[in-house]
Amino acid sequence: MTTYKAPLREYRFILQELFDIGELAKLPGYADATPDVFEQVLEEAAKLCEEVLFPLNRSGDEEGCAFENGVVRTPKGFKEAYNLFREGGWTALSCDPDYGGQGLPHTLQFFVEEMVSSSNMSFGMYPGLSRGAYSAIWRHASPAQKRKFLPHLVDGSWSGTMCLTEPQCGTDLGQIRTRAEPAGADGVYKITGTKIFISAGEHDLTGNIVHLVLARIVGAPAGIRGISLLIVPKFLVKEDGTVGPRNGVRCGSIEHKMGIKGSATCVINFEDAEGYLVGEAHKGMRAMFTMMNGARLGVGLQGLALGETAYQTARQYAQERLQGRALKGDKFPDKPADPIIVHPDVRRMLLTMKAYTEGARALAGWVSLALDRAERHPDAETREEAEDFVGLMTPIIKAMLTDNAFAATNMGVQVFGGHGYIREWGMEQLVRDCRITMLYEGANGIQALDLVGRKMPMHNGRLLRRFFHPVDAWLRQRQEKPELQEFVAPVMKAFGRLQQVTALLAQKGMADPDEAGAAASEYLRAFGLVAMAYLWARIAEIALAKAGGDERLFYKGKLATARFYMARVLPETNALFANIAAGAEPLMELEAEAF
Amino acid sequence: MAITKVAVIGSGVMGGGIAAHVANAGLPVVLLDIVPPGAKNRNIVAEEAIERLLKTDPAPLMHRDFARRITPCNLEDHLALLAECDWIVEAVLERLDVKHATYAKIDAARKPGSIVSSNTSTIPLRDLVGAMPERFQRDFLITHFFNPPRYMRLLEIVKGPNTRADAVQAIDEFCDLRLGKGVIHARDTPGFIANRIGGMWIQSALQAAFDLGLSIEEADAIMGRPFGMPRTGIFGLLDLVGIDLTPQVAASMQRTLPKDDPYIRLYKERPLIARMIAEGYTGRKGKGGFYRMTRTETGRVREAIDLATGQYRPVAEPTLASIAERKPDVLLRHGDRGGQYARRVLAQTLAYAAALVPEIADDIVAVDEAMRWGYTWKYGPFELIDEIGADAVITLLEGEKIAVPPLLRQAAGKSFYRTSAGRLEYLAVDGAYVRVKRRPGVLLLADIKRKSKPLARNGSASLWDVGDRVLCLEFHSKMNAIDPDIVFMLGKGLDTVKKSNGAFKAMVVYNEAENFSVGANVGLALFAANVALWPFIEEGEAAGQNAYKDVKYAPFPVLSAPSGMALGGGCEILLHSAAVQAHAESYIGLVETGVGLVPGWGGCKELLTRQVANKKRPGGPMPPLMQAFEAIALAKVSRSAAEAGDMLMLRESDGITMNRDRLLADAKAKALALAKDYQPPKPAPLNLPGPTGAAALKLGVTELVHQGKATAYDAVVAERLAEVLSGGDTDMTLETSEDQLLALERRAFQSLIREPKTLARIEHMLETGKPLRN
């Protein structure tokens, strides 16, 4: 069995030692979001996750969802768990108080989501999708639409989806065929078409499902500039706000997947379904990106979450599993064998998992605080800075955190040896569940293109400034501190090369887009590794100051992991930079027919 | 015969503009108009016209002082002055009776052999002078200027059957060399060349928009940029030139064209347009036109008229899919009404043009030049056909059920222009390819590029052998922004001349883009700053300083020949050149403060040095500093080469060329003249006031901030500039070397480029083309 205890001490470290969430309570509307409230909420969430959601993870995976006559049944216990989740107010956590939300910061939401996914990623999909729908409506819909749909999404009595993908188009949404025909009243359309891969598209957890559908209004321009966003509820909503007759929305089937089996992935057929235009006609992509950006950060968190569970379980196993002896002689002569944690290679895996996971959490904390600032800060320039930063880091969070998580869950299996391959232990489920995170909400290759092709050139590199300037300043301030050099020096070197490569890529990419495309994935990873290295250096600085205190082991763990990161993780950038320097030619030389 | 004095009769928009432009060429002009009934000041009409010239934007005069070259007169008291004039231009009302009366007066007063021309655009020459004595006819021709005469390059010359060849020759040469016009010889046919085809284009685009139900925004988005035509499109263009002109032009065409002319068949009166004119909606000069600006509660809103209802509504971004097509040929095949519109208008316009050669012009080259110079099309009609493909255009005409003119038929499977053996050739009426001839003394880099290979080339610049032992450095980066590649090629060019063993004697910095250079590539600097790549920016600045210094001290002359904008780093290269030969339309200035920087490639140093050396300046340490400070801090840009002289951006020894096509030849000649016994300048250290001078300059800035004329950040930038110009830590007893000044420039530049507000300014400039006042 896997093990999971919510990493509350880690949260305190990120939120109060590495960063200062004290700043959040100073933002308008966040007066209640004091560090104390954070602690209480995280503790409550931890209980729910450990006691209710985590126990359903294995069984949910074994049972999966069932589909019969257009109806989807979630695994046993999900409905009861959802009711507890909803009644606990967890769907309302960071939602707008005007619609019944609790108005707490995204930062808090982030770490609650991490715990939920660590304990049961499939379950987390249902409220996760609802949050995406909530944000799109909250940001782009009319006041009447908000009044109609938001209170139900906030209290969790209804759920939401994002209906983008169609059989003929995934990444290339310009090819969408789902049609919206004007149906008399202003803003009301009849929707017809088929959407696939719709997570939480149909289930038995809520009384209604609010689909956010991308469709093409009849006569719209071809391509991406002719896409509109519409709200299409499963059940029509009556004037008084109660649920009315069934709309023309039907689940055609559910997919049989590699992982997240407790999450219903549906084919949804729309047939003359009534839908309501959100925002302007043909401008749906803008609203879609609101959902997408939130969702991408959410997927990065799922990766982080699975890495955490894998690490906790593997750590415990490595400490308890007695097998063979340490290479330099017995460590525990009184036992029949030494625990496998004495072995360098096992340590290599555990430390990689720990470095990835804790580094990822630091990165997530950095970005989530910016997200709160971007939304709430009274100063427009500060908001713009924060928004830039979130935009820049979103593809990195999405892609690198999930790539790392897949490596981490895979190492988790490896630490278990043959037992890792056995379902009962739960380690292989983590690998299977994790695999989707590298694919959905824009495959990781698309994230890399987003970084190199959009975020990098945007405003002549202004988004990059939000990362490069603070890191440059931090490093320069510590150039002369001898005790920090083992951390600062390697980061400076890698950071310097990242600067060079960034400028080179911007120039080469402008002349030849293939050059940008060829370097994109490696560039994103190198960027992410350098960003994480910077955070590990900051962590090390804090840990150095506190290593002699009460929590000696905790801080020693941080320091050793920071050293491990500099010595054994960051050097990966050398290979990445070499690959980038090789350019597009080695990839593009061979003609398609010759493969 | 030499033209040394000119008279212009009629001081309306065209007459005034022509007079101003003759003044720009340095000649005295007599401007005559009527005496209004009962006027006390009998020159009032011409005087007011000159006042208008000084207020008009864009300015008809290249320098305010040139207005003094124009003498305001009247047609009753001053006709005797005509006897002093070699050329008399008539630009009175387009009414035959008025013209005839004017000619009688002119003929009575002018000296024998003086040349008379009319600026008519609608009256045939035979009607103008048919009844005049042969003596007058021999000296008479039409010189058709385009509005505004200073800026529109086209001049159509139409001679009559009796016009003296040497009179035509004299006017041709004067207009080409002195006025800088692109002279085209047209025949005495209605609308001559440009207005005949341009009129058809406008009518076709207007009528088709009504018939096909396009909004004016859609029509303008299609019949504009995609085909290299003015961005305004035709509705925007009509607003600019005056909507009331349309029926006037149509009326004259109807009088003079045969009934079966496609223009006549196409023309239809539109009640909406008649109503707009009647109500004063004649365009920008009236209450508004097809577009107008309206004040609403939320601010100023641009509105467009709905052709169907005649009501104004807010301008809407056109969403037609065809508009997104950037390639003309793809747009022309598009299925929506935008594609349909493009097909109809282009088919009608291009067929019309092809059917009119040789009726209205000797060859297609004249037609293409007329449309490029007179209507600012990027491609003339035949060049446009080549862009689309002659065969595709034939198919297009067939699809639109328009007869394919024989000339176009002849181009089937071919093109109207080709390069053969390194020479540009055009398809003549007889089906043979004929070499495109340049006028004597015209030297185009474009022609040199056709027949030779560059000596060196990278992504942003090339080196060319332009003959007579002169090397040419050509920029060709985007907007000719100066980047590391250009700086590298500059060094390579200097090296090439130095090591050529006399094969090259001089280097000319010249290109044929719209602008000489808009300045350093700040996009690159911004990107580097955004990723905190400070060493790259520092090295880039130092490399530019060194390269420009090498230009200044090269053992042979480096001559720069700008046309259009020469800003920032582009201006700094002029400041370091041994000499400049500038096109009259050169807009020169150090504009770095607009993006929150100071000139960093020696611009502060050079301008300051010139101001200090200026013999005409007042004495004392401060005046030269103040002058340089003002020019740089206010990012002043000259609106002509003549104005650049005032700012010392050009020296008295520098030359000005009026005709764009003659700039390279003039530059070469000047460079070769300098190359004889050339001595590079000697370094001249300056005595500068140091902190006390800086303090004085800063005081002025503080005052401007108090008055709200400068922002707090303007003051920060100006203070850095003041520190450079005052020489840093020095005083008047000490000498400040060039290298010390360059180091001060670097210090100021490097501190400013680290400022978020400077980065915001650069970003804003790159994204909007406008300065940000933050």
pLDDT recorded at residue A287: 83
Distance of residue A405 Cα from the nearest chain B Cα, in angstroms: 28
User: Which chain B residue's Cα is nearest to A497?
Assistant: B533
pLDDT digits (tens, 9 = 90+) for A500-514: 999 999 988 888 999
Q: Which residue has the tokens 């060319």?
A: B464
Compute the distance between CA of residue B602 and CA of residue B569 in angstroms, rounded to an integer: 9
Q: Would residue A441 show up in a list of annotated catalytic residues for this protein?
A: yes
A222 and B528 in contact by Cβ < 8 A? Answer: no
Q: What percent of chain A has pLDDT over 70?
A: 100
pLDDT digits (tens, 9 = 90+) for B355-370: 999 999 999 999 999 9
Asked whether the beta carbons of residue B530 and residue A503 sit closer than 8 angstroms, the reply is no
Say if the Cβ atoms of A461 and B324 lie within 8 Å.
Answer: no
From CA A215, how far away is CA A212, in angstroms rounded?
Answer: 10
B570 to each of A197, B515, B564, B573, B641, how far by Cα in Å?
A: 56, 10, 11, 5, 14
* Minimal-distance CA residue of chain B relative to A472: B532
In chain A, which residues touch B (CB < 8 A)?
Answer: 221-223, 225, 282, 459-462, 464-465, 468-469, 471-472, 499-500, 502-503, 506-507, 511
B445-591+637-675: CATH homologous superfamily? 2-enoyl-CoA Hydratase; Chain A, domain 1 (3.90.226.10)
**How close A222 comes to chain B (CA, Å)?**
7
d(CA B720, CA B758): 13
What's the gap in Å between the CA of B444 and the closest CA on chain A? 29
How far is the C-alpha of A134 from the C-alpha of A231, rounded, in Å? 11
**pLDDT, average across residues B171-177:** 98
**Under an 8 A CB cutoff, do B532 and A499 touch?**
yes
Contact A465 B529 (CB under 8 A): yes
A143-172 pLDDT, tens digit each: 999 999 999 999 999 999 999 999 999 888
Q: Which residues of A touch B330 (CB under 8 A)?
A: none
Per-residue pLDDT tens over the stretch A7-19? 999 999 999 999 9
Q: Could you read off the pLDDT of B732-762 as tens digits, one per residue? A: 999 999 999 999 999 999 999 999 999 999 9
What's the pLDDT score for residue A425? 95
Q: Which residues of A touch B767 (CB under 8 A)?
A: 459-460
Tokens of A252: 């055609």
Q: Which of A223, A460, A471 sits opposite B527 (nearest CB)?
A: A460
Residue A556 to residue B115: CA distance in whole angstroms = 99
| Per-residue model confidence (pLDDT) at position B329 | 85
According to the model, what pLDDT value does residue B525 have? 93
Give CA B491 to chain center in angstroms.
30
Q: What's the start-to-end Cα distance of chain A, in Å?
A: 44
Cα separation, B411 vs A271, in Å, equals: 55
Write out the residues of chain B at the interface with chain A, using a CB-CB cutoff of 8 A: 319-321, 324, 459, 523-524, 526-533, 536, 759, 762-763, 766-767
Q: How many C-beta atoms surround the C-beta of residue B113 within 10 A?
A: 13
Tell me, what's the pLDDT at B678?
A: 97
Q: Is the pLDDT of residue B120 over 80?
A: yes
B763 with A462: Cβ contact below 8 A: yes
Backbone angles phi, psi at B475, to 5 degrees: -90, 145
The stretch A425-451 carries a mean pLDDT of: 97
Contact state of A222 with B533 under an 8 Å Cβ cutoff: no
Which distant-in-sequence residues (6+ apart) come within 8 Å of B317 by Cβ?
B217
For A470, nearest residue in chain B (alpha carbons): B532
Residues 6+ apart with CB under 8 A from A86: A155, A156, A157
Distance CA A375, CA A30 (A): 11
Please say whether the beta carbons of B397 and B404 come within 8 A: yes
Q: How far apart are the C-alpha atoms of A400 and A419, rounded to whole Å?
A: 28
Closest CA in chain A for residue B336: A221
Say if residue B1's pLDDT is above 80: no
CATH placement of domain B6-186? 3.40.50.720
Looking at CA atoms only, how far is residue A387 from chain B in angstroms?
16
pLDDT digits (tens, 9 = 90+) for B154-165: 999 999 999 999
B754: closest chain A residue by CA: A469
Interface test with B, best of A462, A497, A510 (most B CBs within 10 A): A462
* Confidence (pLDDT) at A511: 83
The predicted model gives B442-451 an average pLDDT of: 96
The mean pLDDT of B595-606, rounded to a whole number, is: 97
As a whole number of angstroms, the distance between CA B303 and CA B318 comes to 13
Q: Please answer yes or no on whether B536 and A503 come within 8 Å at the CB atom.
A: yes
- Give the pLDDT band (50/70/90) at residue A109: very high
Asked if the model's pLDDT at residue A290 lies above 80, the reply is no
Interface mutation vs chain B, best among A280, A465, A479, most B CBs within 10 Å: A465
Query: Which residues make beta-bridge pairs with B583?
Result: B657
Q: Is a pLDDT exceeding 80 seen at residue B326?
A: no
pLDDT level of residue B555 (50, 70, 90 thresholds)? very high
Q: Residue A572: its pLDDT value, please?
A: 98
Looking at domain A159-284, which of 1.10.530.10, 2.60.40.10, 3.40.50.300, 2.40.110.20 is its CATH number?
A: 2.40.110.20
Over residues B534-547, the pLDDT tens digits come to 999 999 999 999 99
Closest alpha carbon to B641 in B669, B660, B668, B664:
B660
Question: What are B204-241's pLDDT values in tens digits?
Answer: 999 999 999 999 999 999 999 999 999 999 999 999 98
Distance from CA of B699 to the nearest CA of A (A): 30
Q: Which of A221, A223, A464 is closest, CB to CB, to B531?
A: A464
Amino acid A138: pLDDT: 95
Domain ranges of chain B: 6-186, 194-357, 445-591+637-675, 686-768
Q: Measured between CA atoms, how close is A140 to chain B, in angstroms?
A: 21
Residue A348 · residue A335 · CB < 8 Å: no
* Cβ atoms within 10 Å of A544's Cβ, excluding its own: 16
Of the candidate ranges A462-466, B246-250, B323-327, the one whose mean pLDDT is the lowest:
B323-327
- Which residue in chain B has the smallest CA separation from A462? B530
In single-letter form, the type of residue at position A51 comes to: E
Q: Which two tokens stand for residue A95?
A: 């939602």
- Biggest CA pair distance of chain A: 83
Q: Which two tokens stand for residue B687?
A: 């005595």
Above 80 in pLDDT, residue A244? yes
Candidates B168, B30, B15, B41; CA nearest to B99 is: B15
Give me the DSSP letters along A537-579: HHHHHHHHHHTTSTTHHHHHHHHHHHHHIIIIITTHHHHHHHH
Q: Which of B319, B324, B531 sits opposite A461 (nearest CB)?
A: B531
Task: Please answer yes or no on whether B766 and A500 come within 8 Å at the CB atom.
Answer: no
Residues of B in contact with A502 (CB under 8 A): 531, 533
Sign of CA dihedral B335, B336, B342, B347: positive
Contact list, A506 vs chain B (CB under 8 Å): 527
H/E segment holding residue B508: strand B506-510
Per-residue pLDDT band for B31 (boundaries 50, 70, 90) equals: very high
pLDDT of residue B283: 92
Residue B476, classified by CB atoms within 10 Å of its CB into exposed (0-12), middle (13-18) or buried (19+), is middle
For chain B, the maximum distance between any two Cα atoms, rounded to a whole number of angstroms, is 84
User: Are B222 and B342 spatial neighbours (Cβ–Cβ below 8 Å)?
Assistant: yes
Nearest chain B residue (CA) to A466: B530
Domain ranges (residues) in chain A: 8-143, 159-284, 444-595
Neighbours of B150 (CB within 10 A): 24
Tokens of B485: 């590649």
Q: Give the model's confidence band at A525: pLDDT under 50 very low, under 70 low, under 90 confident, else very high.
A: very high
Q: What is the layout of strands, in order, in the sheet containing B6-9? A: B70-74, B29-33, B6-9, B87-90, B115-118, B140-145, B154-159, B182-186
Give the pLDDT mean for B581-605. Answer: 97
Across the A/B interface, how many CB contacts are shorter than 8 Å?
56
CB hemisphere CA count around B581 (13 angstroms) = 27
pLDDT tens-digit map of B648-684: 999 999 999 999 999 999 999 999 999 999 999 999 8
Rounded distance, CA B11 to CA B47, Å?
A: 9
pLDDT at B504 > cutoff 90:
yes
Verify whether the Cβ–Cβ distance B531 to A468 is below 8 Å. Answer: yes
- Amino acid residing at B176: D
**Burial of A12 from C-beta contacts in 10 A (0-12 / 13-18 / 19+):** middle
Average pLDDT over residues A168-194: 92
Tens-place pLDDT, residues B48-84: 999 999 999 999 999 999 999 999 999 999 999 999 9
As a three-state string, the secondary structure of A175-211 is HCCCEEEECCCCCEEEEEEEEEEEECCCCCCCCEEEE
For B214-248, b/e burial (b = at least 16 CB within 10 A) is bbbbbbbbbbbbbbbbbebbbbbbbbebbbbebbe
Which one, of A115, A465, A518, lies nearest residue B530 by Cα?
A465
d(CA A435, CA A257) in angstroms, rounded, equals: 11
C-alpha B523/C-alpha B484 separation (Å) is: 12
Answer yes or no: do B531 and A502 touch at CB < 8 A.
yes
Compute how many other C-beta atoms are within 10 angstroms of the C-beta atom of residue B399: 12
> Between B319, B536, B766, which is nearest A460 by CB?
B766
Pairing of strands B29-33, A243-246: unpaired
> Per-residue pLDDT tens for B471-493?
999 999 999 999 999 999 999 99
Sheet containing B312-314, strands listed edge to edge, beginning at the edge strand earlier in sequence = B291-296, B299-305, B312-314
Read off the pLDDT of residues A458-473 as tens digits, 9 standing for 90 and up.
999 999 999 999 999 9
pLDDT band at A361 (very low <50, low <70, confident <90, very high): very high
Mean of the per-residue pLDDT values of chain B: 95
Q: What is the pLDDT of residue A293?
A: 84
Work out whether the CA dihedral A377, A380, A386, A391 comes out positive or negative.
positive
**pTM here?**
0.89
Q: Please state, in angstroms and rounded to a whole number, the distance separating the CA atoms of residues B15 and B149.
A: 9
Instruction: Please give the share of chain B, as a percent, with pLDDT higher than 70.
Output: 100
Nearest chain B residue (CA) to A465: B530
Cβ A225–B759 below 8 Å, yes or no?
A: no
- For the domain spanning A8-143, the CATH number is 1.10.540.10
Query: So what's the pLDDT on residue A171?
Result: 87
Q: From the candidates A441, A515, A522, A541, give the one annotated as an active-site residue.
A: A441
Say yes or no for a CB contact (<8 Å) between A500 and B532.
no
Q: How far apart are CA B669 and CA B441, in angstroms?
A: 11
Q: How far is A153 from A178, CA to CA, in rounded Å?
A: 25
Treating both helix axes as pointing N-terminal to C-terminal, what angle do A284-320 and A106-140 enclose, rounded to 10 degrees?
A: 160
Q: List the one residue out of B104, B90, B75 whose CA is nearest residue B15.
A: B90
pLDDT for A329: 81
